[in-house]
Chain A
Amino acid sequence: GQNIDQPTEMTATEGAIVQINCTYQTSGFNGLFWYQQHAGEAPTFLSYNVLDGLEEKGRFSSFLSRSKGYSYLLLKELQMKDSASYLCAALDSNYQLIWGAGTKLIIKP
């Protein structure tokens, strides 16, 4: 079956760094997405990785290891506005996104 695993909830301190992990098992693989979703709002795109390695975009970076079925999202210099759920999603062989349940990130002052 197809499966995405990520932690349910994480807590971090303002100004710190946090890493949110995601493991995936899909039938075929065409890339890994990260989305941010604030409470009561729609998901918004953060990153896409299809090749192994680290992609950096400002305070956010995303890493992919295809051989390990593993990705992480790294958030630096955390701000209170980063409090949100972070959704990991893998694109399968049919180009359909398989979504994790999301990691709720709580930022404390």
Chain B
Amino acid sequence: IAGITQAPTSQILAAGRRMTLRCTQDMRHNAMYWYRQDLGLGLRLIHYSNTAGTTGKGEVPDGYSVSRANTDDFPLTLASAVPSQTSVYFCASSDSGGAGDEQFFGPGTRLTVL
């Protein structure tokens, strides 16, 4: 059982380039999330999806887009990367997104934008 996988593990990207971070879960969870984690700050929600076919904006959505074509996959796209998007990105999922639902996290993608 893999749980949640993310790819790539790490990436160095030139500013202005387009980049898609991949996330796949095999737990049949309805809800999925993208967070970024920066030193000294808490995890910040970028986008979320409560079920396949729907997405919503989190706290810091600017510069990012997501899609949820099916239950398992939730890719995050940076249309034109900027240095402030240098961060560790975590994908997570939960059963329904309701109260008490534990979120399961992927191993993260370390992204550096130069």
Task: Report A's interface with B, CB cutoff 8 A.
Answer: 4, 30-31, 33, 41-45, 48, 50, 87, 89, 91, 95-102
Contacts and interface: CB of A to CB of B under 8 A. Distances in A.
B97 A87 contact: no
Nearest to B58: A96
Contacts of A45: 102-104
A100 B105 contact: no
B99 A96 contact: no
Given A43-B43, A95-B99, 4 more contacts: A41-B108, A42-B90, A96-B45, A98-B42
A44 B98 contact: no
Contacts of B97: 95
B102 A42 contact: no
B42 A96 contact: no
B107 interface: yes
Q: Which of the listed residues B58, B105, B108 has the most CB atoms from chain A within 10 Å of its own CB?
A: B105
B100 A31 contact: yes
Given A42-B108, A95-B98, A96-B58, A4 B42 contact: yes
B41 A101 contact: yes
B48 A102 contact: no
Nearest to B38: A101
21 contacts: A30-B99, A31-B100, A41-B107, A41-B108, A42-B90, A42-B106, A42-B108, A43-B105, A44-B105, A45-B104, A50-B99, A50-B100, A87-B42, A91-B99, A95-B98, A96-B48, A97-B43, A97-B45, A97-B103, A98-B42, A100-B42
Contacts of B59: 96
Nearest to A2: B59
Contacts of A102: 42
